[in-house]
């Protein structure tokens, strides 16, 4: 049964409500603001009925309005129904302005009140459902920082990300350039208990050694010429959050020792400093080179490798992600089309073919860049292979080779969609002209467009 809190000081009315409503609701009673708030906190009812004239000021609405404000402050979604004498309708209206759901004038007719209560609970439940739904949708799309993938390989990656996020173990992310290493690191951070803390990225390969040391560990005043004030480094800055060390394979040996020490006892020293500083930061590292090779060549400490690589996530190259390529391509297409105010609706058949056969040495970043550039420069509604800079020497012909693994029906549909898109584009999306060119009726064209998800 739903819980209903009744805040009312008149004994008669309480008795009336008790007998009238006890079959439908679990009832809680209070006779003063203090008691009412205490009961509200204890039972969190979705609906409350509230008498405005409560002790010690039974003749004014002061106490009742105060009680209303308290309840709304505690939970703004509560449905408060004001029970009022005929004389203070005005106060009832004030109460509505301050967030009450409805009001009901005495004398009370139980069957009327029941209808109001029923509606209030119904609405409270609907709103709650709605909020939950919204939250779930938001959580799902932002959960992995917008990382997208349906392929078996990427699903495995997402599983690992979710699993390691909850602990504090160091994670090493490996993958070719542009495969989403930083994005994966951000996803781990945002799913972890540290998500309120900072995510601090630093590229160990892009900064000269001495500068990198002071960037990472900070320095005390006078540690070197130019060190005018004591300054905290990225480690300290990331305390309570996550430090993301990109291109970890490039970390100079001297700094590898300092990182190892941190991983062992969570302590660092600033340059020129003599005191240990305890830092609470999670370390995520990334590399696009083979660390084993660096270990063999003596450029990377093996003991550090074991420490940072407690968990290793391997991001597969884009060319090995199957259908994810087109999924991402379409995602970037609609994103940039919107961003640049263009009306690009899809890829030509040849473009799709070239996208799938291309090697993508720059992986997701390259795909994103090529589509962004193409959309920026195009006036067409369908992107061609040449717009993406993917025209190869060999002419594109529809041959059975392009379609291995597809059924004849699927191939026919692919070509049909392509032909329709191309014709629509030629005729600037004029339905009549397109239908004429294709030799079909307008309803048939609409039908086919619906089938292939082509929107005007």
Ligand X SMILES: Nc1ncnc2c1ncn2[C@@H]1O[C@H](COP(=O)(O)OP(=O)(O)OP(=O)(O)O)[C@@H](O)[C@H]1O
Residues that bind ligand X (CB under 6 A): 146-149, 175, 177-183, 288, 328, 364-365, 368
Q: Which does 236 bind (CB under 5 to 8 A by kind): Mg ion, ligand X, none?
A: none
Q: Do the beta carbons of residue 296 and residue 128 sit within 8 Å?
A: no
Report which DSSP code applies to 103: E
Tell me if 220 contacts Mg ion by CB under 5 A: no
241 binds, among ligand X, Mg ion, none (CB under 5 to 8 A by kind): none
The entry of ligand X, Mg ion, none that residue 177 binds, CB within 5 to 8 Å by partner kind: ligand X
CB of 319 to ligand X, least distance (A): 14
Task: Give 39 or 288: the residue with its C-beta nearer to ligand X.
Answer: 288
Shortest CB 248 distance to ligand X, Å:
12
Which of 365, 380 has the CB closer to Mg ion? Answer: 365
Is residue 269 within 8 A of residue 277, CB to CB? The reply is yes
Nearer Cβ to Mg ion (102/182): 182
Q: 24: Cβ–Cβ under 8 A, 6 or more apart, which residues?
A: 1, 114, 117
CA–CA separation, 184 vs 179, rounded Å? 9
The distance of closest approach from Cβ of residue 199 to Mg ion in the complex, given in angstroms and rounded to an integer, is 13
CB of 169 to ligand X, least distance (A): 20
Beta strand pairing call for 47-51 and 26-30:
unpaired
The least CB distance from residue 182 to Mg ion, in Å, is: 4
* C-alpha to C-alpha distance for 207 and 213, rounded to whole angstroms: 9
User: Least distance in Å: CB of 176 to ligand X?
Assistant: 7
Rounded to the nearest 5 degrees, what angle is found at the Cα of 387, between the Cα atoms of 386 and 388?
85
Token pair belonging to 215: 């960037």
List 2, 70, 182, 366, residue binding Mg ion (CB under 5 A): 182
Full DSSP string of 32-72: SHHHHHHHHHHH--SEEEEES--TT-TTSSHHHHHHHHHHH
Residue among 247 and 418 whose Cβ is closer to Mg ion: 247
Question: Minimal distance in Å, beta carbon 303 to Mg ion?
Answer: 25
Stretch that binds Mg ion, among 178-186, 270-278, 347-355, 421-429 (CB under 5 A): 178-186
Rg of the chain over Cα atoms, rounded to whole angstroms, equals: 33
- Provide the CB-side half-sphere exposure for 54 (13 A, CA): 24
* Distance in Å, CB of 386 to ligand X, minimum: 23
Q: How far is residue 118 from each of residues 1, 15, 127, measured CA to CA in Å?
A: 12, 20, 14
Stretch of 126-134, 175-183, 268-276, 448-456 lying at the interface with Mg ion (CB under 5 A): 175-183
Nearer to Mg ion, 35 or 182 (CB): 182
Bridge partners (DSSP) of residue 314 are 174
242 binds, among ligand X, Mg ion, none (CB under 5 to 8 A by kind): none
Residue whose CB is less far from Mg ion, 186 or 321: 186
* Structure tokens, 148: 């997208």
The answer to whether residues 215 and 251 touch, using CB atoms and an 8 Å cutoff, is no
Q: Which stretch binds Mg ion (CB under 5 A): 176-184, 263-271, 301-309, 327-335?
A: 176-184
Nearer to Mg ion, 287 or 352 (CB): 287
Residue whose CB is less far from ligand X, 148 or 398: 148
Nearest distance from residue 62's CB to ligand X, in Å? 56
Choose the one of ligand X, Mg ion, none that binds residue 411, judging by a C-beta under 5 to 8 angstroms depending on kind.
none
Q: Which does residue 287 bind out of ligand X, Mg ion, none, counting CB within 5 to 8 angstroms by kind?
A: none
Q: Give the C-alpha separation, 338 to 454, whole Å.
A: 16
Q: What is the dihedral of CA 327, 402, 411, 389, to 10 degrees?
A: 50
DSSP-derived 3-state class of residue 15: helix
Q: Residue 297 CB: number of other CB atoms within 10 A?
A: 8
Given ligand X, Mg ion, none, residue 180, with its beta carbon under 5 to 8 Å by kind, binds: ligand X
DSSP string, 185-201: HHHHHHHSTTTTS-EEE
* Residue facing Mg ion at closest CB distance: 182
| Inter-axis angle of helices 408-426 and 442-451, nearest 10 | 120
Measured from the CB atom, the residue of 168 and 182 that comes closer to Mg ion is 182
Strand partners, 84: 105
Nearer to ligand X, 263 or 327 (CB): 327
Binding site for Mg ion (CB under 5 A): 182
């Amino acid at each position: 049964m739903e819980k209903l809190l009744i805040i009312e000081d008149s004994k008669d009315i309480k008795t009336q409500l008790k007998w009238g409503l006890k079959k439908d609701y679990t009832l809680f009673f209070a006779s003063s603001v203090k008691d009412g708030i205490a009961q509200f906190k204890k039972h969190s009812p979705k609906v409350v009925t509230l008498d405005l004239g409560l002790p010690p000021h039974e003749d004014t609405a002061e106490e009742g309005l105060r009680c209303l404000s308290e309840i709304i402050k505690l939970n703004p979604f509560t449905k408060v129904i004001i029970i009022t004498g005929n004389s203070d309708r005005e106060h009832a209206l004030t109460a509505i302005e301050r967030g009450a759901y409805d009001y009901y004038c005495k004398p009370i007719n139980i069957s009327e009140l029941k209808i109001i209560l029923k509606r209030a609970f119904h609405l409270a439940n609907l709103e709650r459902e709605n909020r939950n739904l919204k939250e779930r949708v938001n959580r799902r799309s932002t959960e992995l920082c917008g990382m997208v993938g349906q392929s078996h390989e990427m699903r495995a990656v997402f599983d690992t990300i979710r699993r390691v996020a909850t602990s504090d173990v160091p994670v090493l992310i490996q993958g070719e350039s542009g495969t989403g290493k930083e994005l994966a690191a951000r996803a781990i951070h945002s799913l972890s208990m540290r998500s309120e803390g900072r995510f601090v990225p630093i590229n160990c390969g892009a900064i000269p050694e001495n500068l990198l040391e002071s960037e990472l560990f900070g320095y005390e005043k006078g540690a070197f010429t130019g060190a005018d004030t004591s300054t905290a480094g990225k480690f300290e800055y990331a305390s309570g959050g996550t430090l993301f060390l990109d291109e970890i394979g490039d970390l100079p040996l001297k700094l590898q020792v300092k990182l190892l020490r941190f991983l062992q006892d969570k302590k660092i020293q600033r340059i020129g400093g003599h005191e240990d500083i305890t830092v609470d930061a999670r370390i995520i590292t990334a590399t696009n080179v083979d660390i084993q090779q660096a270990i063999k060549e003596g450029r990377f400490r093996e003991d550090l490798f074991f420490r940072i690589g407690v968990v290793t996530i391997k991001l597969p190259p884009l060319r090995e992600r199957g259908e994810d390529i087109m999924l991402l391509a379409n995602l970037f297409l609609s994103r940039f089309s919107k961003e640049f105010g263009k009306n690009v609706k899809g890829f030509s058949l040849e473009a799709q073919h070239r996208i799938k056969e291309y090697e993508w040495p720059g992986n997701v970043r390259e795909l994103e860049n090529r589509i962004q550039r193409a959309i920026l420069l195009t006036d067409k509604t369908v992107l061609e292979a040449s717009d993406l800079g993917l025209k190869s020497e060999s002419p594109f012909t529809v041959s059975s080779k392009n379609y291995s693994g597809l059924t004849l029906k699927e191939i026919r549909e692919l070509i049909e969609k392509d032909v329709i898109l191309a014709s629509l584009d030629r005729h600037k999306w004029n339905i009549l002209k397109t239908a004429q060119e294709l030799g079909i009726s307008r309803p048939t064209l609409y039908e086919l467009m619906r089938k292939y998800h082509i929107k005007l």
